[in-house]
Amino acid sequence: MANEFWFNDQQWANIEPLLPKNRPGARRVDDRRVLSGIVHVLKRGCRWRDCPTVYGPPTTIYNRFRRWTMQGVWRRLFAQLAQVAPGDAQMIDSTSSKAHRCAAGGKGGATSGDWALARRQDNEDPCRRRWQWSTDSLRDYAGAARRRPCRRYAARAFAACLPICAADAAYDSKALRQFLTERGTLPVIPNNPTRKNPHLFDRQRYRQRNLIERMFCRLKDWRRVHIRYDKLADTFTATVYIAAESGP
């Protein structure tokens, strides 16, 4: 089929050395084939059972995705592939992801719609507010100069990692500006129209903030990122990790 996804040689050369090795149990089947099948499903948005047979049994594809999600493999791969370089600039923004009707009713953990709520209110039990399951899902990413997300984070927790922080006017607040300045980070944030005492900001650097908008566009080209079919937050998070690792 012309629409099948396969990792090319360069992509696989970057990923293959980072895969888990010497795991107990039966020997794994062809990693390149199975991981290509996982990416195919996540990009196309099809059901796992509809995965083309060239990738192997659909149960094998799904079980690998789910087991590695629970074991944190996708998160570790993401952390190793998305390293921050000294010349990178931090850019923060948020977007929303439409929830499909099948994303409701998750059991055994926070639902995918609770994902954003848990990030905003870390001390609150997300299960108490499950009605929020159709709200924002991709919030506050740090975009590096290579147009790749660095990590998901609470804005105040990651703000001191890079010397420049660019954000739109929605992030214009005295508390955030002071927080960034105290940690040696230059805030590049335009003034909110309601601000009475405007701040100066670097307009040339702010123009580069389009990189994070383009990053979100590429992430949401993946149908299982753009539309949340997953019931559990860790499954949806793994999908975002894989989309960020694999590129457009």
**Does 248 fall in a domain?**
no
**Does 239 fall in a domain?**
no
CA dihedral 188, 193, 196, 201 (to 10 degrees): 20
Two structure tokens written together for 80:
């190793």
**Of the candidates 155, 181, 174, the residue with the CA atom closest to the CA atom of residue 90:** 155
Residues 134 and 210 reside in one and the same domain:
yes
**Does 77 fall in a domain?**
no
Residues 57 and 105 reside in one and the same domain:
no
**Does 63 fall in a domain?**
yes
The pLDDT assigned to 167 comes to 86
The more confident residue out of 70 and 208 is 70
CA dihedral 121, 122, 125, 131 (to 10 degrees): 40
Residues 60 and 181 reside in one and the same domain:
no
Residues 103 and 151 reside in one and the same domain:
yes
Task: Give, as one character, the DSSP assignment of residue 190.
Answer: P
Residues 37 and 156 reside in one and the same domain:
no
Residues 131 and 63 reside in one and the same domain:
no
**Nearest-5° Cα angle at 35, 102 to 240:** 50
Residues 94 and 58 reside in one and the same domain:
no
Q: Is the dihedral of CA 96, 98, 101, 103 positive or negative?
A: negative
- In this prediction, residue 32 has a pLDDT band, given cuts at 50, 70 and 90, of very high
**Does 104 fall in a domain?**
yes
Residues 67 and 104 reside in one and the same domain:
no
**Of the candidates 46, 48, 15, 32, the residue with the CA atom closest to the CA atom of residue 244:** 15
Residues 55 and 103 reside in one and the same domain:
no
Number of domains in the chain: 2
The more confident residue out of 102 and 40 is 40
Mark out the alpha helices in the chain (DSSP H runs): 9-15, 31-44, 58-70, 73-81, 114-120, 155-158, 174-182, 203-206, 210-219, 223-226, 233-246
The residue from 71, 100, 116 where one domain ends is 71
Domain enclosing residue 40, as ranges: 9-71
**Does 242 fall in a domain?**
no
Residues 117 and 19 reside in one and the same domain:
no
**Of the candidates 221, 132, 8, 31, the residue with the CA atom closest to the CA atom of residue 240:** 221
pLDDT of 219 strictly over 80? yes
Q: What is the pLDDT of residues 158-185, one digit of tens each?
A: 444 578 888 888 888 888 888 888 878 8
**Does 29 fall in a domain?**
yes
- In this prediction, residue 186 has a pLDDT band, given cuts at 50, 70 and 90, of confident
Strand partners, 139: 94
- In this prediction, residue 134 has a pLDDT band, given cuts at 50, 70 and 90, of very low
Residues 219 and 142 reside in one and the same domain:
yes
**Does 247 fall in a domain?**
no
Residues 118 and 181 reside in one and the same domain:
yes
Query: Does the pTM exceed 0.85?
Result: no
